[in-house]
Structure 1
Amino acid sequence: MPITRNVTLDIMRTVAIVLMVIFHFAYDLRFFGWVDWSVPNGPGWKQFRYVILSLFFLSVGASLVFAHHQRVDLKSFAKRIMWIVVWACVISLFTYWFFNSNWIFFGVLHFIAVASVLCLPFARYPVMACFIGIGIITLFLTNVVTSKWPFNLWELGLPSSPNDYVALFPWVGVVLLGIGVGHMFIKGIDPCASLKLSTKITFLGRHSLAVYVLHQPLFFVTLGSVYWLSHSVM
């Protein structure tokens, strides 16, 4: 039996991607020296990023349920993961070229690819997923496992303060909790359905991968051009 789109899930993705675009725009303004905001790790901004990642990764877990709750479709899963890995590698190469000292070796897309593979076996088992998810978050909060794991287990020559780093602990736990949320959604729980929103409002959320991949290059081209023109005429 096909599952119709869940409006609440689409809104979660849309809010997450809009907030991420705002966050990266603020970061880019600071990068070009136009503001002195403490993006990304200063007070307020760090918590803002946590909100964005939480929404994103809850959505990732819920999306695994919608795609695979009846049976695991390995073909479609592998195709999607392949595209995510390709774009993750592009981002790594781009940032290595421009930000060699803190290039992105394990950012949002890298994490989504790995977490999706790790969490897929639990897509049909929400109770188990939630228990394990809570356990993973607890291990992190009690400092049993650090956010650097497993990259701190061996010397890889990776930057100590990479841009956009997403730790497996605790964020895999959030994806697993998203599986629990997804199972609530497929049972008909959709708090935002009564809003009767146009699908145009959730367009960005329904195309979040494309938006994520494209928005930063567009920002850099636009802001970089403005920066270059403003300094060339001085």
Structure 2
Amino acid sequence: MQSAYNTQKRSAFLDVYRGSAVLLMMIFHFCWDLRDFDFLTFSIHDPFWVYFRKVILLLFLSAVGWSSYLAHISMKQKKAPFWRRDAKLFCSAAGISLVTYLAVPDQWIYFGILHFIFIASLITRPFAGWPIVSALIGASIVFLYQLTHWLHFPNAFAMITQYISLPSRTLDIVFPFPWLGVVLIGPIIGHLRWHQWSLPNNLLTSILAYMGRHALPFYLLHQLVLYSLVALSKIIATSLL
């Protein structure tokens, strides 16, 4: 999600790729808000919504590994530190935890997408310079998760919430597997130079690229705007009945 690369010329393709994930995330949360205010009726456990969320995670997390590869190349050339990027992501994740704890203490986010991206970025960084090795490890994690039960740990969540004072329900949680594998596959996308692919210059790509360049602010602020709009619509609709 974070813009983890800083080259002289940004990759429009990677920005649009990440911006597409931001757009899908906003659609997902907008539908969630409509459901909360009874404008829509659906179960979040329906296969459509389960896979919709997986597509969003796939795009975001592969972009994390991809941009880690570009950051490795850029930082090796410029000798610039990673700590500013890490600090921004850490503070954003901590801010999400604090805000949700104050707003919904029984469902606050203690390990959501930003928390996972922060940890996964640290884990992936040593492998960014060896994209083929990273991809092999990542693919192994994904295949082991899909084909066996070795990485499922079905009782881990219950055990953690039993021994640590955390709510048994949370607004967002990302388990390490198989998603760490997706992040580790990301560097091979950079190694294959996908970021050099050209795109048509039109309004849609411009909007998506802008959203991709500012993915973190969009993530932090979009629900405040969407939820407020849906809540206001509910108040207006109720008053007109």
TM-score, L = length of structure 1: 0.86
Q: Cα deviation per residue 1:53-85 (whole Å; 9 max; x = unaligned)?
A: 101111111111111125457864221121122
The answer to whether the 8 Å contact 1:149/1:169 transfers is no
The total of aligned residue pairs comes to: 229
Q: Would you say 1:104 and 2:109 are equivalent positions?
A: yes
Q: Which moved more, 1:117-126 or 1:224-233?
A: 224-233
- Quickly say closer, same or farther: Cα 1:220–1:116, change in 2 above 3 A: same
- Equivalent of residue 221 in structure 1, options 194, 205, 228: 228
- Equivalent of residue 13 in structure 1, options 3, 7, 18: 18
Alignment partner, residue 46 of structure 1:
50
How much does 1:16 deviate? 0.5
The answer to whether the 8 Å contact 2:75/2:81 transfers is no
The answer to whether the 8 Å contact 1:149/1:168 transfers is no
Task: Give the secondary-structure state (helix, strand or coil) at the position aligned to 2:106.
Answer: helix
Measured on the aligned residues, the alpha-carbon RMSD in Å equals 2.6
Alignment partner, residue 22 of structure 1:
27
Q: Cα deviation per residue 1:15-47 (whole Å; 9 max; x = unaligned)?
A: 1000000000001111122211223x3220110
The answer to whether the 8 Å contact 1:57/1:175 transfers is yes
How far apart, in 2, do the equivalents of 1:212 and 1:180 lie? 26
The answer to whether the 8 Å contact 1:3/1:66 transfers is no
- Quickly say closer, same or farther: Cα 1:140–1:161, change in 2 above 3 A: farther
- Unaligned 5+ segments in structure 2 are 1-6
How much does 1:150 deviate? 6.3
Alignment partner, residue 131 of structure 2:
126
Higher relative contact order (CA 8 A, sep 6+): 2
- Equivalent of residue 87 in structure 2, options 64, 70, 82: 82
Percent identity reads 37
The answer to whether the 8 Å contact 1:107/1:165 transfers is yes
Alignment partner, residue 181 of structure 1:
189
TM-score, L = length of structure 2: 0.84
- Unaligned 5+ segments in structure 1 are none
